[in-house]
Structure 1
Amino acid sequence: MNEETLQQVQLAYGVENWSAGYFDINSRGHMIVHPSPGDERHADLKEIVDHLLQRGRVQLPLLLRFPQILNSQLRVLSSAYQAAIVEFEYTGQHYPLYPMKVNPRREVVEEFLREGSRCRIGLECGSKSELFAAIAQDQSPESLLLCNGFKDESFVRTALLGVQAGKRVVIVIEKLNELRMILKLAQELGVAPLIGLRAKLYSRGSGKWASSGGDSAKFGLTTSEILECVRMLREAKLDHHLKLLHFHIGSQITDIKRVKNAMKEAARVYSKLRQIGCGIEFVDIGGGLGVDYDGSKTRFDSSVNYTVQEFANDVVYTFKWICDEENVPTPNLVTESGRFMTAYHSVFITSIRDEIETFADDQPEVTIDEDDPQVITELKDLCDSINAKNYAEYYHDSLQLKDELQIQFNLGLVSLEDRAKGDVLFWEICARALREAEEDGFSDEEFEQLKRNLAQKYLCNFSLFRSAPDSWAIRQLFPIVPIHRLNERPTDYATLVDVTCDSDGKIDRFVDLKDVKQTLELHNWETGEAYYLGIFLIGAYQEVMGSHHNLFGHPNEAHIVIDTNGRFHVTKIVAGSQIQDMMQFARYDSNQLLESYRKQLDHQVDSLKITAAEADSLAQEYTAIAQRSTYLE
């Protein structure tokens, strides 16, 4: 790949800006993945996909999971806090937690616990289902099992099962009545968990989840409620079980200043509680450590203006400074940085299956007749004469003529054929004007809008609502890059649409270093050609929050590891949903469906419209369809 093409591709997709060292482009123009930043070993994503498809083991769409990246991100996180602890001579330790809500897949949870014993990684759960799975996991004895969220009696009883199994279970109090319930059950069962209090800080985060903090936050205790909890624990002679203070100011904090402010407030709350005799040993700062999805390193919603090391330094330094000032011991610091830990480890692969024709595609050549209306002849003159000097003026003239054509059509003054001619000429003028504007480097808003109007619309084999739901729900940006042909300059602009019957099933916002792009640069695509796109950084929240809209199910999934020699190995394949799986999800009984269809066929046989043999063949085909993929094949 020559240097000029590489620069153009990097400008188009910004891989080096958002990849955090995990993804790059090789000399063949293929996307590659590294098991950790700075590791020379890598695997070629195109080769992985070809390997899986050629063996017939999977079909697209396909989720690629790289467990080594999970381990790498945990090391990056732990190393950042350890470096800060050493630099600031901090006496507490770092206890990372993995919040199961971020991605509760068994393979993800078990991978963290298997490789994370050296850094005391524990689990955080916010529901009975998550807790049920968590208490059976093989955690390090010194790690924590934290219970957040709203709780009923069965939740607390489940948590106490973990206590009796020898786990360091911490139940975090969100409301006063939760503590009353815990005290009652502890007395009944003769077993008590460690207790945490969730503080509702005045400080708020920044970005899409800023409302998670502040006075109006959904979770947390006010200062007076915290003091009432302390009183209740002392009255029950269980105040020695109060070991943790928790707060959370929002996910994906974009601005480091908000982190500093929150840490100051939280450190003061902790210090004052220590000064009134509370033996708190842990402060759980919650989540918030963000991912730079667009690579801009700014306060934009899809970015962050800090590094993980700066984040850790600010947390550790602030607690050290304030605790020294307040003359209290520094706490162990607990983090719930699930987005940071998981986002990079999954890549979703889809393919272009078709093109949705736009205005300027494959238009017939216009022949002007003597009796054509004047508006048509004027459009033809503009189309024939537009050039680098007059393209802006002629484009504006064509807009006026387009309006005149519509008015005359509504008045019955021009025919349908005339209107068709005018449309063809207008869009040809637009296409030529846009080409001249791009050559001229002219980026006026009207030409940006024209680019969006003329962009290709590619139909991709996936469901946005299943595999990247945040793109639709909160307009989250995810990097999207072809995984091959990157040694060629992309020449087309496009938006992407999925296979659902929903107009919202589209992606028309793309990462860019300085702004949000409305179109994505892609290579020229011909019908039937294999062209694969990767949606990156989807390892956090997307799988668990995806829906079965239109009864599209889970895609196929492959787990990939890279060995010491740099070769990739497929360690696991998880089959995607079949149609029969989605029938069960929607509470249909496959046998009843077949029986009902068979009755309809029998009626056709009785009516002499088909034979009994044909009915049997159709029933067999219907049965076989149930085992097919929900996606295009």
Structure 2
Amino acid sequence: MLDYGIRIWSDDDFKIEKGKIVVNYGKKPAIIDIVKDIRDEGYKGPLLIRFPHLIKEQIDLLFKAFKKSMKEYGYQGGFNALFPLKVNQFPNFVIPLMEMTKGIPYGLEAGSKPELIIAMAYNNPGSPIMVNGFKDKEMISLGFIAAKMGHDITLTIEGLNELETILTVAKEMGKPYPKIGLRIRLHSSGIGIWAKSGGINSKFGLTSSELIEAMNMLKNSNMLEYFTMIHFHIGSQISEISPLKKALREAGNIHAELYKMGAHNLKSIDLGGGLAVEYAQHDGLSQRHYTLEEYASDVVFLLKTIAHNKHVPDPDIYLEAGRFVAAKHAVLVAPVLELFSQEYDQRELQLKPKNPPLIDELYELYNLMNEKNAIEYLHDSLDHMESLLTLFDLGYIDLLDRSNTEILVHLIIKKAVDLLKHKKYDEILNIQNMIQEKYLLNCSFFQSLPDYWGLGQTFPVTPLDRLNEKPTRSASLWDITCDSDGEIAFDIRKPLFLHDVDINKEEYFLGFFLVGAYQEILGMQHNLFTHPTEFSVVFDDEGNYEITNLLEAQNILDILDDLDYDIKDIERKLKQYIEESDYISDDKRKDVLGRLYLYLSENAYLKTIVSYKDE
């Protein structure tokens, strides 16, 4: 049984039982059974499944780790956490998140006016709101309105011009004022593709001289008491702990120096995000090289040590671990529509009474192949195919010969894979690299996995069932967009093997895990494929699950409406063309128009027809 690295990436949240991926919670339902229940209700195409209990689990782990370290080191500061809305702004994530964090210091971080409105509406009373990113006067004024609503809100300054605007708005709107934070520009930077978030040339933050000037501006305006926090961020998905430790030393010393300069209400440090998630599903390819406990211990110990040495109070710690909180809760399920090699079937062979000699040799290779000679015959068949395709290009063989060539070679490949499936993994890996099966999935990678397409970020992928059977096909995954980049190619360094299935007789689903962070909101409507149908799986106290918050993918008219097309004009034109068409008889016009309106009310994803249900 191949476990698809579930022991590496799942943290025991998902398990394999009886050949199926199950949710390791409650009565442990199989995801494939949940999917089939939804599909029986008529919801086809890709599905996004949310598991809210995994959000709560991650938050609990976060607070537990920091509270344990604070107790161990006698840390006197508090711990607060925030969810950065840029990671996932969808209501079926945000609203349950706020419901399950009532009563603990967990709030929202906003980086734009719409995100700030979400925070002002849904943040729990008493929990912090942080506002990062560039701000104009209107956005700063919204922060003052939030303070007047009773929110514990901090406006983090990215530049001195923003501080000037805050001082102006303070005079115009009066108290209560929001708290003020200063983002510091560290020399320290992160690691990996997001490392540019930190460092002296980073996009955000104040230099040392600007920090001193900001202090003077606050003093001169009698606003220094509202300066309560410094903030830094060295990047998303920090894979190593050492860059964080270096940044903490720098930030801790800056905090202490500012406190000694008179900022005695400066009691907090916001560490930003970056707490990594393990996406790897192959040994030796880990993307996180530390534990949550190690992370929390290092943060608390270093800040405690610096505060003690500098004779300042231990600062309250704020953390924006958005990816850590959100990634696990969502799973993308994509149906397989087709295996491309299955176009080549022995029944399609049309051998002639007299064939080109190389085709006769291919047929003989196919019939005489056994486990002992499979590798040799496979290589011979691939050589024959190259020769025969060259002969076709030169005009020496016809299209029927070319068709027989393609069919025979694919039959030989499938037979070789089946004969060698019991061999050692390393012995057949190079062969599998040459002869991948192409699986067509009913989804868009641009919409549902944009970080894969844009950044090369990998996500764990596994079949939802048949995990008690050895997969035999090295797999390349194709989505249904008409774009050659819509492919997850087979990679010999981290190979994906799937089962050889007959899609005409059985359904086969792949699950993409850890897709809850960034993927939804970054998804692009390439080919006008939109957010898939989504729903939440909620467990009761007895361990039973219930489907909630079901939201079907947009239909075609809604998609076009979002692009600012005049929907009424489209409907009028289509109806007119049907009514005036010479190719549609009068008694058929109503039926054709009805079909058209039916299709316009459907989503853009493809419909799968599975015949085995009718057998």
Q: Return the TM-score normalized by structure 2.
A: 0.90
Amino acid at match of 1:621: R
Residue 230 of structure 2 is aligned to residue 245 of structure 1: yes
Is the counterpart of residue 274 in structure 1 residue 245 in structure 2?
no
Residue 624 of structure 1 deviates from its aligned partner by 2.8
Structure 1 residue 356 corresponds to structure 2 residue 344: no
> Which residue is 1:21 aligned to?
12
**Pairwise CA distance, 1:380:** 6.6
User: What residue is the counterpart of 2:474 in the other structure?
Assistant: 493
Match of 1:464 in 2: 445
The alpha carbon displacement at 1:470 in A equals 1.6
* Equivalent pair of 2:341/2:410 in contact (CA under 8 Å): no
Q: Deviations over 1:353-372 (max 9, x none)?
A: 22223797658669698784
1:600 is matched with: 577
Task: Decide whether aligned partners of structure 1 residues 466 and 499 sit closer, same or farther in structure 2, where only a CA change above 3 A counts.
Answer: same
1: distance between equivalents of 2:134 and 2:570?
Answer: 40
| Aligned with 2:299 (options 315, 323, 329) | 315
| Equivalent residue, structure 2, for 1:443 | 426
Matched, 1:573 2:550: yes
Answer whether contact 1:363 1:424 (CA < 8 A) is retained: no
Number of the residue aligned with 2:151:
167
Equivalents in 1 of 2:345, 2:192: separation in Å? 40
3-state secondary structure, aligned to 1:252: coil
**Equivalent residue, structure 1, for 2:24:** 34
Partner of 1:5: none
Q: 1:551: Cα distance to partner?
A: 1.5
- Equivalent residue for 1:474? 455
Shift of 1:282: 0.8
Deviation at 1:146, TM superposition (A): 0.5
Cα distance in 2 for residues equivalent to 1:100 and 1:496 = 31
1:306 correspondence with 2:290: yes
Equivalent-residue separation in structure 2 for 1:361 and 1:456 (angstroms):
14
User: Residue 610 of structure 2 aligns with which residue?
Assistant: none
Which amino acid in 1 is paired with 2:110?
A: C
Partner Cα separation in structure 1 for residue 355 and residue 549 of structure 2: 69
Shift of 1:632: 1.9
Contact 2:501–2:508 (Cα < 8 Å) also in 1: no
d(CA) in 2 for partners of 1:397 and 1:473? Answer: 39
* Aligned match of 1:545: 522
1:237–1:576: structure 2 CA closer, same or farther, 3 Å change rule?
Answer: same
Which residue of 2 is the match for residue 203 of structure 1?
188
The AA in structure 2 aligned to 1:214 is G
TM-score normalized with structure 1 length: 0.87
1:314-333 aligned at under 5 Å gives the runs 314-333=298-317
More moved, 153-162 vs 621-630:
621-630
Structure-to-structure mapping, 1:548-567, within 5 angstroms? 548-567=525-544
1:52 is the counterpart of 2:38:
yes
Q: In the alignment, what sits opposite 1:4?
A: none
Provide the rounded CA distance (Å) in 1 between the counterparts of 2:51 and 2:206.
39
CA distances 1:283-303 after superposition (whole Å, capped 9, x unpaired): 000001011112568675xx2
Q: Distance in 1 between matches of 2:33 and 2:462?
A: 16
Matched residue type, 2:463: P
Q: Distance in 2 between matches of 1:458 and 1:156?
A: 50
- Inter-partner Cα distance in structure 1 for 2:439 and 2:532: 19
Post-superposition Cα deviations, 1:143-172, rounded to whole Å, max 9, x if no partner, equal 211000111111111111101111121111
User: Do 2:444 and 2:486's aligned partners in 1 also have CA atoms closer than 8 Å?
Assistant: yes
Question: Residue 611 of structure 2 aligns with which residue?
Answer: none
Check conservation: 1:254, 1:299, Cα contact below 8 A: no
Q: Residues of 2 paired with 1:208 and 1:176: CA distance?
A: 29
Query: 317-326 or 403-412: which moved more?
Result: 403-412
Aligned-residue offset at 1:554: 2.4
CA distance in 2, matches of 1:613, 1:404: 56
1:10-159 residue pairs with structure 2 within 5 A? 10=3, 13-27=4-18, 29-35=19-25, 41-54=27-40, 56=41, 58-141=43-126, 143-159=127-143
Bigger drift between 183-192 and 311-320 goes to 183-192
Secondary structure at the counterpart of residue 330 of structure 1: coil
1:536 maps to which residue? 513
Shift of the alpha carbon at 1:433? 6.0
Between 1:426-435 and 1:471-480, the stretch displaced more is 426-435
Name the count of aligned residue pairs: 605
2:281·2:460 contact (CA, 8 Å) conserved in 1? Answer: no
Partner AA of 1:74 in structure 2:
I
Tell me if the contact between 2:345 and 2:411 (Cα under 8 Å) persists in the aligned partners: no
Structure 1: where are the runs of 5+ without partners?
Answer: 1-7
Aligned equivalent of 2:2: 9
- The one-letter amino acid paired with 1:47 is D
| CA distance in 2: counterparts of 1:236 and 1:129, whole angstroms | 30
Letter of the 1:247 counterpart:
F
1:615 aligns with 2:615: no
| 1:9 partner letter | L
- CA 1:391 to 1:617, structure 2 compared with 1: closer, same or farther past 3 Å? closer
CA deviation map 1:360-415 (0-9, x unaligned): 76586696987845x66776776677666666666666666555555555555555
Query: Is the 2:475–2:490 contact (alpha carbons within 8 Å) kept by the matching residues of 1?
Result: no
**C-alpha RMSD of matched pairs (Å):** 2.9
1:235 has 2:220 as partner: yes
Q: Larger deviation: 267-276 or 82-91?
A: 267-276
- Give the unaligned 5+ runs of structure 2: 608-615
Q: Distance in 1 between matches of 2:498 and 2:584?
A: 52
Structure 1 residue 22, shift from structure 2 partner:
1.1
Residues 549-603 of structure 1: per-residue CA shift (max 9 Å, x gap):
2112222222211122221112332222111211211222222111111221332
CA-to-aligned-CA distance 1:226-269 (integer Å, 9 cap, x gap): 22211221222211111111000101111122222221222122
Structure 1 contact 578–626 (Cα < 8 Å) conserved: yes
Q: How far apart are the structure 1 equivalents of 2:212 and 2:445?
A: 47
